[in-house]
Amino acid sequence: MGRTQTVLALESSCDDTAAAVLRKNASGETQILSSIVRGQDSLHAAYGGVVPEIAARAHAEILDLCVEEALDVAQTPLQDIDAIAVTAGPGLIGGVVSGVMCAKGLALATGKPLYGINHLAGHALTPRLTDNVPFPYLMLLVSGGHCQFLLVKGPDDFKRIGGTIDDAPGEAFDKIARLLALPQPGGPSVEQAAQRGYTKRFSLPRPLLDRTGCDMSFSGLKTAVLRARDGLVRDQGGLYPQDQADLSAGFQAAVVDVLAEKTSRAMHQYHQLSPSTATLCVAGGVAANMAIRARLETVARDNGAGFVAPPLALCTDNAAMIGFAALERMADHPPDDLTLAARPRWPLDAKSPAMLGSGKKGAKA
C-alpha cells in the first residue's frame, strides 16, 4: 500500500489552457478532483488556425487563474498538493514555455517537487486513468498534431509502430473545414456536415493502403477534396450546403477506412506481444469522432480485443491526463529540477526513426 498523493497539473501546449487536481489513494485508485479547460477558439477564429504568439500570450494571461480555479473546485489548498506536474513538450513552444514557467514558479514558491510530462504520454496513458487498462495495450493517438500507433508496455515504455508521414488527421479535418467554409475547429463541424452527406458522390483516395505497415498519409486526400471543391465552384459558381455535406462525408469515410485498415495491421503486430487481455485504445481530439470510434470498435472486436475510448472531455487536451501521467511516473522517477526545459519536439519512442512532417499544431514526434 502506498500513501495518498495529490498533484496539481498544468497543460498549455496548444490552444487549451488547462489545470487539474488529481488524488491517488493508498490503494492506487486515482480520482480527478477538478479539471479546468479554457479553450482559445474565439481568439484564433479570424485567422483560420492557431496563431502561436496569440496562444502563448493567452496561456500566460490565464494559467494562474486556471490553477486557482482548479484548486478551488478541488477544495484543496496549495499546501496540500504533493507535486506539481506540467506539460514540458511536445507542442507550440511559446505555450509550453508559459506552462513550464508557471509550474516552476509554483514549485519554487512552495518547495514542492516538479514533474515535466510528455503531452503524448498524457494522451497515451489516459485509458489507464479512465478504465484501468493493463499493459501492454495498443494505442492509436489521433489529434490535431499527432497520429501514431503505440505499443504501450509501461508508464515510460512506448514503442511506435507507425504514424502519419505528413498531416495529422485532426489537422486534415481542420483544413477541410476551412476549404469548405465550415467553422473551426474543423473536426466537429465536418462530422456534423457529414451526417447529411452522401459518402460515395465523390471518388476520394485511401492513401498508402497499398504500402505495407502502419504508416499513413492524409495530405493527398486533402488535395483531392480541394480539387473536387474547385471543380464544383468552377461548374456551379459556388458551393451548396449539400456539396459541403457530401464532401465532408466523403472525406470522413476515407479517413475512417484508412484508420480502420491500418489499425487492423497494427493489431496483428500487437498480438505478437501475447497480451493477456488484448485492448485497443484510442485517444486525442479526433477520437471524439463518432464514425471513427464506431469503426475502430468493430476492428477491435474482429481482432478479439476490447475497445477503450476515453470520454470526450479526456480525449481532447486537458490537464487531468498530465496529472495522471505524473502520478504513474512519480512511483519510480525522481522529480525534475528547476532546469526543466520546454521542448517543441519530444518523441515518446526515441528509438524509432523520427516521423516526417510537422503539424501546424505541434510536433508529430
Report the interface residues with ligand KG4, using CB under 6 A.
14, 143-145, 170-171, 173-174, 185-188, 191, 284-286, 288-289, 316-317, 361
* CB-nearer residue toward Zn ion: 171 or 317: 317
* CB-nearer residue toward Zn ion: 124 or 258: 124
b/e burial code for range 318-351 (CB count within 10 A of at least 16 → b): bbbbbbbbbbbbbeeeebbeeebebbbebbbbee
Residue 35 binds what, of ligand KG4, Zn ion, none (CB under 5 to 8 Å, by partner type)? none
CB of residue 145 to ligand KG4, shortest distance in Å: 4
* CB-nearer residue toward ligand KG4: 192 or 223: 192
Q: In the chain, how long is the greatest CA-to-CA distance? A: 70
Residue 188 binds what, of Zn ion, ligand KG4, none (CB under 5 to 8 Å, by partner type)? ligand KG4
How many CB atoms are located within 10 Å of the residue 251 CB?
A: 29
Residue 14 near residue 144 (C-beta atoms within 8 A): yes
Chain centroid offset of residue 277 CA? 24
CB of residue 168 to ligand KG4, shortest distance in Å: 7
Residue 87, Ramachandran bin (φ over 0: left; ψ between -120 and 50: alpha; else beta): beta
Helix H, strand E, coil C: the string for 264-285 is: HHHHHHHHCCCCCCCEEEEECH
CB of residue 323 to ligand KG4, shortest distance in Å: 16
Chain centroid offset of residue 354 CA? 18
Residue 174 binds what, of ligand KG4, Zn ion, none (CB under 5 to 8 Å, by partner type)? ligand KG4
Residue 215 binds what, of ligand KG4, Zn ion, none (CB under 5 to 8 Å, by partner type)? none
Residue 316 binds what, of Zn ion, ligand KG4, none (CB under 5 to 8 Å, by partner type)? ligand KG4
* CB-nearer residue toward ligand KG4: 288 or 330: 288
- The residue ranges that bind Zn ion (CB under 5 A) are 143, 317
* CB-nearer residue toward ligand KG4: 113 or 284: 284
